[in-house]
Structure 1
Amino acid sequence: MDTSDTSGQLEEALERVHTSGPERDGWLSNHAPMVVEALSAHGQAGAVHRWLDLYRDKLEDFPDRVAPVTDDNWLEALGDPRRIADWTYHFSHTLEERPWRSVLAEWWPRLLPGLYGGATHTVIRVGHAVRALEADENAPRRTELAHALGYWAARHQPVTRLVALPGAPTAEAALAAVPAIEPGHLGFRNRLAAVRQLPVWADDVTDPDTAKERLTELVRAATHRYATHGHAEPTMLVHAATAPNAVLRTLHSLPRDQWAPSLHAAWRASAAVTAMYGPVEPVAYVPPARLSADGVMEKALAHGDEHVIKFTDTALDIGDDRALAAAQRAIELSVPLA
């Protein structure tokens, strides 16, 4: 499907969203910019304002600035959520002066270790922004990249001191080998802190093309897995697929020497989400009817839930029957947008 949007409705929607902050209630992510891009990418640009009208109660005003982020002090501002506005202004100014791919290439390796921030919505938002820019570069789309990078920098959250467990040759088997965290941890940050060990997978990959192949394999495996494991946590488990897919979408806008490190970071993120929410007994799932890509996206839009729409977007990138079934499963498991 053509991912360009010639109507200008995506631009209008992004301008509308940019008056809002990237979070609400002090932690929950604003999904609006990601959803409107996903809808536009799949021929549903005409629905973005109608969807935003339904979502508007979940939007909060953009936060105030605290102090400028500069080339000299950026490291101390990294991971400080109070500095969201400062980071966004920094990237907005930088993207006015330099090509967006140059800015992305500079900051991607700095931000990549902290892609867990905002429950991985930070890197997911960047992935949507990059896809929009690759389709058509204009001011609202550049501004969206600034907001996405600013959110990532402010919520930058690394995970360290992980114990490597024996892995498996395939992404599917490696995800199946991920051990569950100990029970009793509530909230993404507490669950993430409880992740202590993950299986090794694709850790020896250094060739860029091989890295892309393995990353594609990971996204496919995580998407397929949702159909049989999504019942464990229907909302949070979508990120095991959408986070690595955001990385995959960004590869061709990055220098090739960043592809393999991106694969390794994406695996750890997908495996961590699986450890936090997904090691349960699988449940066999067969969709109720033959599915088509257009039909599943129309169902996701009618359902309205932001995670359902974004997961369906990833499932359509995979495009096979198992991926479409996983998207249908997400629709069935999730609460519709009121």
Structure 2
Amino acid sequence: MTLIALERCGASAERIQAFYDHYCQRLDPLATHQDDAPLRYGQPEQFVRFRQHYQLQLETFGVAQTLHSHLDELIAGVSAAAFHALIRLAYALEAEDIQEIAAALAYWATEYQPLTELECSYDYDASEHIQRAYALYHDFAFSPGIIVDRVRQIISAKQYAAIATIPYDLSVEQVARITIEQYRGSDDFTLLHGVTGFDAFMSLRHYLSDPQRGLHYFWQAYVAAFASTSNQLTTQAWLPAPAQTWPNLMQRAALSQDDHTIKLTYSCARLAWQFPLNAYQEAIETRLVKEGL
């Protein structure tokens, strides 16, 4: 994923190779153990078999038909690995690599994390929804764990019922604004994935039979992820201000050793073409300055 983002940010072939060599030191070999149980979502030990399954589907029916056939079901578990499965699939499609697409689908299937059944409400809008989540969970006592563990604790808590429904009037414009504002105001690792995850969702939504339903699932997952952080709620409006140009920001991001900085910069640049929010540039400038870039 990061290699694609680096290339899109204008990195040289030498820089891309150097990052690859550096990052490979962090990788562990893929487990090859396979069980004989029927394929079932949410079973990480079935990754190899799911990958083979999707590879066959892709080779037989092609990318578009395979995604149209499976994403409507997978989207209900979009929380998978804190949006990483969604993000990985978007990058695999951009690379036009069948093996990577199969691996991304298998990752999504095996890390599948559904929350609750979708229900919509007129009780609050998207901004009020986030405010409710903050009010209910900002001092919540979490047990140890990673993002997905905290999300499970969020939806298991009795107060989750008060934020379980989705605003009827939810729009991509609202989600774009809130995801970048909350990240920009916090520099939070979890909320960073809300931005990159939303970028991935925007690139995949045309494969869904009902993109609005898909947006509802994404928002449901985002609100749960937001509630799992301990950040102060960002409520200020962003005023127009001079910002570095995207070529400048992307050139500097290509020098980062942080894969999240590189991917975030690429996602924000893409989203800024669709949603004219100055907060995208501000978020990247702030992050790059912190890294001394």
TM-score (norm 2): 0.82
Distance 1:68 1:45 in 2: 45
Structure 2 residue 5 is the aligned partner of structure 1 residue 53: no
> Taking every aligned residue pair, what percent have the same amino acid on both sides?
21
Change (3 A) 1:186 1:57: same
Q: Cα distance, 1:41 vs. partner?
A: 3.1
Whether contact under 8 Å (1:167, 1:201) holds in the other structure is: no
Alignment of 1:1-338 (within 5 A): 34-44=1-11, 46=13, 47-67=15-35, 73-74=38-39, 77-133=40-96, 141-160=97-116, 168-169=124-125, 171-179=126-134, 180=137, 182-187=140-145, 188-196=147-155, 197=160, 198=163, 200-203=165-168, 214-230=171-187, 234-252=188-206, 254-255=207-208, 257-277=209-229, 279-282=231-234, 290-319=243-272, 320-332=277-289
Q: Cα distance, 1:167 vs. partner?
A: 5.3
Distance 1:229 1:267 in 2: 19
Computed over aligned residues only, the root mean square deviation of the Cα atoms, in angstroms, reads: 3.1
Q: Cα distance, 1:289 vs. partner?
A: 7.5
Count of equivalent residues: 277
Distance 1:317 1:177 in 2: 30
Whether contact under 8 Å (1:203, 1:264) holds in the other structure is: no
Change (3 A) 1:66 1:54: same
In structure 2, the partner of 1:22 is none
Q: Cα distance, 1:333 vs. partner?
A: 5.4
Q: Cα distance, 1:186 vs. partner?
A: 2.6
Distance 1:43 1:107 in 2: 33
For structure 1, list consecutive stretches of 5 or more residues without a partner in the other structure.
1-33, 134-140, 206-213
Greater RCO, CA 8 A, separation 6+: 2
Where 2:115 maps in the other structure, the secondary structure is coil
> Structure 1 residues 91-100 or 324-333, which shifts more?
324-333
Change (3 A) 1:167 1:55: farther
Q: Cα distance, 1:121 vs. partner?
A: 0.6
Change (3 A) 1:121 1:221: same
TM-score (norm 1): 0.72
Whether contact under 8 Å (2:122, 2:168) holds in the other structure is: no
Change (3 A) 1:131 1:161: same
Change (3 A) 1:107 1:162: closer
In structure 2, the partner of 1:211 is none
